[in-house]
Chain A
Amino acid sequence: MMRSVTITRRNLMLGTAALGLALGPVRAQAGLPLVPHRTDLAALGHRPGKPGGTVRMLIGSARDVRLIPIISYARLVGYDDQLTLAPDILESCTVEEERIFTLRLREGHRWSDGSELTSEDFRYCWEDVWLNKELHPSGPVVELLHDGNLPRFEVLDRLTVRFAWGGPKPDFLPALAAASPVRMLLPAAYMRQFHARYQDPAKLDELIRKNRVKDWVSLHQRLSRQTRPENPDLPTLEAWMPRTAPPAEQFVFERNPYFHRIDENGVQLPYLDRIVLNVSSADIIPAKTGAGESDLQFLGLDFSDYTFIKGAEKRFPIRVSLWKRIQGSRMSLLPNLNCNDPVWRGLFRDARVRRALSVAINRREINMAVFYGLAAESADTVLPESPLYKPEYATAWAAWNVARANRLLDEAGLEARDADGFRLLPDGRMAQIVVETAGESTLETDVLELVADHWRQIGISLLTRATQRDLFRARGMSGDVMVAVWQGMDNGVPTPDMSPAALAPTSDDQMQWPLWGLYYLDKGAKGEAPDLPEVQELVALYTAWRQSTSTAQRRDIWQRMLEIHADQVFSIGIVNGALQPVVSARALQNVPQAGLFGYEPQSYLGVYRPDTFWYDPEAAS
């Protein structure tokens, strides 16, 4: 489905600058940069279209307006559908020694309010926001630091800036291309009125009162939010700009008249005039989609809804296709290595126990029962589409073998059993594992029911507890969760140049080691330092990746990290490559009928370019 992908960073220098030259002198079109980003639709398998039309989508809550910047996917540098990095908003981007990044904007590129996009916007974002002690008391995010040190920032000219770190920054460009990117640009002309440095205090107080916030910091934060476009006045570079401020039941996004991309005929993108998001209860999104109330829908749909929507194809002008989800595992069980119960903590830290729990699962049965056998039975690892894939990662400790699981548990010191055949812990309690889910899908509870049967055969009792997502996170952090259910690796199709942060304890939302993740995230101030040698090695490898200078080096690091994961089973994967229904109106053109579906790096539909979707009335029938 996907060709293997390698990114050579040197290519980036060329980018669209060369393309612009090839076109010869470009007549500056109203609303377009002098050198727009020209999309080769044919290369995407798309065909050029006509502007106009409205797309309706359904969202589960008002917070889901964040979907639009994700699928609009205008980034400084972005991935294409083959996951090659290329400049997008930037005209060019040069990288020297993996540490000096020179970013050049497009001449004549404007924000959606018509103000010019210049290096001042970079400077404002860097100096007045990231480095402001009030807005960011602990300084910029780790993606902008090298070994804890700030880069040297220079404004070279009206359109060019340079970030230079003391050492290699391989995660900088991927962070810019992410579904939720690191913020580098803010519309300085608009935002200055909310900044204490530029606004006079009396006027600022008035604005604070008017917006009902407590100080200018929250005022600035609230009005500058780009990933959740709730401020219709905030100029944007995305393809569609918000026209509705919450609270609302319907959110309208209109096409940005200054968007920087054109199709091969010189027609400015996006084709679609308007996107209308309707808020409805998450439970009835499948029903509404099946009733033709959405023109483009993937959020809120699950594999089990496919049959129903497929039936609705006959009644409404919609079509449904199945995309392949990129998670390392559709659902994985994460034994909490930081759990409060000292006995279980000791057991979960024993690799034999984790392996036993994994090989006790009959993945074939789960695949047939829940996924029509269409998913792949696999450990939680990269998918075959990734250039890093090796079959042995997928098969490691993933083959159903009850005898082996029993043997492993016996070796781990759990030989004793009670009258019902359940194993006994060293302190005499019954071996009962409470598995917690965020309670968002019946899929999880169904699979857990099957797993409970499988584990019963090895003398382990499984209880399920469904909580709420926020509570689930909090309980994970406090060590109350024994085993959590979550998706596997978010990005199952990584290239060596993408960050392997998910494989090492780097964040407190990693439910297998929340305290170790917190330790890294808070630079050692909170949490605990990892004390398992394998995890320490993962941390060391991740640090090495962040210092690496070549793709070959990064590939080796990735392979070693994947090997450790395969062998240690920190996350018990079940199946991956599960399918995701994507519904679109039949008249909507250029919507791929197959693709990889994921948040990172695909940004859902982002890399398949929704700005090129258009309505062909002739195709409606």
Chain B
Amino acid sequence: MTGPLPDPGAPLPHYVSDAPFDPNVIENRVIGRTDLAQASQKKLMWWKFKRHRLALISGVFLAICYVAIVFAEFLAPYGLQTRNVENIYAPPQAVHLFHDGSFVGPFVYGRTMELDMENLRRVYTDRTDLVQPLRFFCHGDSYRFWGMVEGSLHLVCPPENGNFNLLGTDRLGRDVLSRILYGARISLTIGILGVATSFVLGIVIGGLAGYYGGWVDLVVQRMIEVLQSIPSIPLWLALAAIMPVTWSPLVVYAGITVILGLLDWTGLARAVRSKLLSLREEDYVLAAQILGASSPRVIGRHLIPGFMSHLIASATLTIPGMILGETALSFLGLGLRPPITSWGILLTEARSVNVIALYPWLLAPVVPVVLVILAFNFLGDGLRDAADPMR
């Protein structure tokens, strides 16, 4: 390589190697896996997520829950408001398979109710001679599927002339399991809808603040600080109290969702803003601007996708907060109102000492609340880890 330079204008001496060339040689040498090296961002996340066992299980559990609430009418053995005054405060019934040593299939024993006038209790005793097989895919309480289609098909129905209360009944003889299933529809969707509201608000407001900076940023920042300094529960209470009683329960439901969303967007807006502040200095943004893209387009098409995965993870982590918020509001009697039934409403009805001492099965709605909250937290955790490119 020493020697003088060629004369000006003369061609440089060079040659083209004809040895085989592998463009992935470095990746192969470092990791030994081509698929990994060439995987898209989404694929990488999915692989990472899969390794988080708990998150995966939580995700499956939540998916099942959300599928179940779509078909709540079909899955619940009874209707939401079906009362049976002959069957008040009935304890949970066990499902049996064998009777007298022979296989019968799923069945419950019939029960008789006696009034214990000494202690004023309803005493239920199983009658082991009365085998009542459960019916499947049968016609029971009629309902309007999603409030639109008339139907009466249920996955499982109580036996003829009998009752089937897997989780017992409450003080008006309503089936607790059915009410939990119907309540899930409200409690689970309120989190999603609330997060959707706060997502839209957070991205729009935070996006404007981060992209434009300057006084827009200043105003938004101060607004967020003021909102975050107000204690959330009293503010919910105040907003919930102004909803008139004559509003139909469905509108109240929408109102509660909006209230929860209206107060929750601030954290998200901050995250969006700080990300945008750094991303807007990137060359590709400048390129887009020079090409004449409008601000919404630059934000929506070029900036947001850059950290969408992160946003989804943080949104997942706020859903449990929403569900708890709804539960707390309803528990205090200021959220949803009967006849709409949510887990919070079910728990409100179970807060007296009598329930704990005598009818503990009415506390059953606590279990799904805890499970769903945990599942969302694990799922969000897994998503966040997966979306984080540093690890």
Contact = CB atoms under 8 A, between A and B. Distances in A.
B117 A372 contact: yes
A284 B120 contact: no
Given A307-B119, A365-B85, A449-B338, A287 B353 contact: yes
A286 B245 contact: no
A290 B173 contact: no
Contact of A311 (B119, B245, B349): B119
Contacts of A464: 337-338
B72 to A, nearest CB: 21
Size category of the A interface is: 20 to 34
Closest 4 CB pairs of A and B: A287-B353, A465-B245, A369-B85, A310-B119
B172 interface: yes
Nearest to A581: B120
A410 interface: no
B357 A369 contact: no
DSSP class of A's interface residues: helix, strand, loop or mixed? Answer: helix
A442 B246 contact: no
Contact of B357 (A284, A308, A466): A308
A372 B354 contact: no
Contacts of B119: 306-307, 310-311
Interface of A: 283-284, 286-287, 290, 304-308, 310-311, 365, 368-369, 372-374, 432, 434, 439, 442, 445-446, 449-450, 453, 463-466
Given A372-B117, A432-B246, 10 more contacts: A286-B354, A287-B353, A305-B352, A305-B354, A307-B119, A307-B121, A310-B118, A434-B246, A439-B333, A445-B338
B172 A304 contact: no
Contacts of A368: 85
Contact of B246 (A307, A365, A445, A463): A463
B224 interface: no
A226 B170 CA distance: 45
A453 B353 contact: no
Interface residues of B, number: 25
A449 B387 CA distance: 49
25 contacts: A283-B351, A284-B353, A286-B352, A286-B353, A290-B353, A290-B357, A304-B354, A305-B354, A307-B119, A310-B118, A311-B119, A368-B85, A369-B85, A372-B120, A432-B246, A434-B245, A439-B333, A442-B349, A450-B83, A450-B172, A453-B81, A463-B246, A464-B337, A464-B338, A465-B245
Contacts of B172: 369, 446, 449-450
Contacts of A304: 352, 354
Interface of B: 81, 83, 85, 88, 115, 117-121, 171-173, 245-246, 333, 337-338, 349, 351-354, 357-358
DSSP class of B's interface residues: helix, strand, loop or mixed? Answer: loop
Nearest to A579: B120
A311 B353 contact: no
Contacts of A365: 85
Nearest to B333: A466
B120 A306 contact: yes
Nearest to B174: A449
Contacts of B358: 307-308, 311
Contacts of B120: 306-307, 310, 372, 374
Given A307-B119, A307-B358, A369 B352 contact: no
Nearest to B357: A308
A374 B116 CA distance: 12
Interface centre among A304, A307, A466 (most CB of B within 10 A): A307
A439 B245 CA distance: 14
A377 to B, nearest CB: 14
B246 A308 contact: no
A369 B351 CA distance: 20
